Amino acid sequence: MATLKDKLISPIAEGAKLPNNKITIVGVGQVGMAAAISVLAKGLCDELALVDVMEDKL
């Protein structure tokens, strides 16, 4: 038997889909790290790759 809530509220749209993509940020200096933090905070991708010419920065 359905509850009152089930009778009054019915879903009209599917749930939001999670992103299935990869973003690469070239350069891990101040701007690159700021971009990486923004991408992660907004949940824009599943994978995040950081690339820099200086290997010791990674």
Quickly state the pLDDT bin for 29 (edges 50, 70, 90).
very high
| Within a domain: 31 | yes
| Within a domain: 7 | no
**Are β-strands 47-51 and 22-26 bridged in parallel, bridged antiparallel, or unpaired?**
parallel
| Within a domain: 36 | yes
| Within a domain: 10 | no
pTM of the model: 0.62
Query: Could you tell me the residue range of the domain that residue 43 belongs to?
Result: 18-57
pLDDT tens-place string over residues 5-17: 888 888 787 777 7
| Within a domain: 40 | yes
In Å, how far from its chain's centre is CA 34?
A: 15
- Answer whether 29's CB lies under 8 Å from 3's CB: no
pLDDT tens-place string over residues 37-54: 999 999 899 899 999 998
What is the pLDDT of the chain when averaged over all its residues? 87
| Within a domain: 5 | no
Residue 44 structure tokens? 């824009």
- Answer whether 50's CB lies under 8 Å from 36's CB: yes
